[in-house]
Amino acid sequence: MKNFSQNNSSIFGKKKGLFICFAGIDGSGKTTLSKSLVKDLETKDLRFSYVYNRYIPFTLRPFMKLGELIFLRNHNFFENYSSYSQAKKSNTKKHPFLGKIYQSILIIDYYFQTLFKIKIPLLLGKNIVCDRYIYDTIVTDLSVDFNYSKSNLDFISKLMQKFFPTPDFIFFVDVQEEVAFLRKDDVPSIEYLRDRRSLFSHLSFLFNMKKLDGTKKIDDLLRDIENELGV
């Protein structure tokens, strides 16, 4: 990954903007940290835009609704996450062809969302701090539901990174599941977070992400990040 030059002005001499992203489970503090970093960098005369890049199912929405009616009508995500998750995994295993179509549409859908939110602005020289990126989409929307093996997870992750902009800096904000669960009121269970945290940990090693302790104070985390950036 790249490092800032000691001369901050050289950052803006690049033809392509600088790309920083944050990954981690829900409740790890990504959003608060991303927004705080943008504000803090502004005080140093460094202009960055905050981008929330969680996957939004536009093309997939009717397929998802149909799938819930046909395959998941007796399961509720919030009332019994474990049962819902097992039913989803079971159905994707029984219908591999439909599963491949679903995954392909999702990735294409997300590519175009990222194209307009991130890729084009970067090419125009804008600097971006991204809250959730391909790693969050792979873990949250693909890997758990389709029960990826570690080799499948690695393959999909590296494949997507070939077509999506490569971050200059990736920060993995890590917290224990119990801590994250207390912070969020829209997470169905600790199991939901546990399923995803182990996968994020794996990807953090695969892509050499800088690991941050999400239980630390914001000011301390910002200091750690800016030391890593060299500002």
pLDDT score of 71? 65
SS3 state at 201? helix
Kindly tell me the burial class for residue 71, based on how many C-beta atoms sit within 10 Å of its own C-beta (0-12, 13-18, 19 or more).
middle
Mean pLDDT of 11-37: 87
pLDDT score of 210? 96
pLDDT in tens, 87-115: 777 878 888 888 888 899 999 999 999 99
pLDDT score of 15? 59
Q: How confident is residue 164, by pLDDT bands cut at 50, 70 and 90?
A: very high
Statement: residue 6 has pLDDT above 80: no
Domain containing 73 equals 8-229
What CATH number is attached to the domain comprising 203?
Answer: 3.40.50.300
Alpha carbon distance 195, 209 (integer Å) = 19
Q: Which of 166, 188, 178 is nearest to 214 (CA)?
A: 178
pLDDT in tens, 126-161: 999 999 999 999 999 999 888 898 999 999 999 999
The verdict on residue 2 lying in a domain is no
* DSSP track, 27-62: TSSHHHHHHHHHHHHHTTT---EEEE-----STTHH
The verdict on residue 3 lying in a domain is no
pLDDT in tens, 46-98: 999 999 999 998 888 887 777 676 667 777 677 777 887 777 778 788 888 88
Statement: residue 8 has pLDDT above 80: no
The verdict on residue 109 lying in a domain is yes
pLDDT in tens, 217-231: 999 999 999 999 998
Number of structural domains in the chain: 1
Mean pLDDT of 32-37: 96
SS3 state at 143? helix
Here the tokens at position 102 are 């679903």
The verdict on residue 28 lying in a domain is yes
The verdict on residue 66 lying in a domain is yes
Alpha carbon distance 195, 136 (integer Å) = 13
* Global model pTM greater than 0.75: yes
Kindly state the DSSP code that residue 230 receives in the 8-state scheme.
T
The verdict on residue 1 lying in a domain is no
Residues whose CB is less than 8 angstroms from the CB of residue 169 and which lie 6 or more positions away in sequence, other chains included: 1, 2, 19, 20, 21, 210, 228, 229
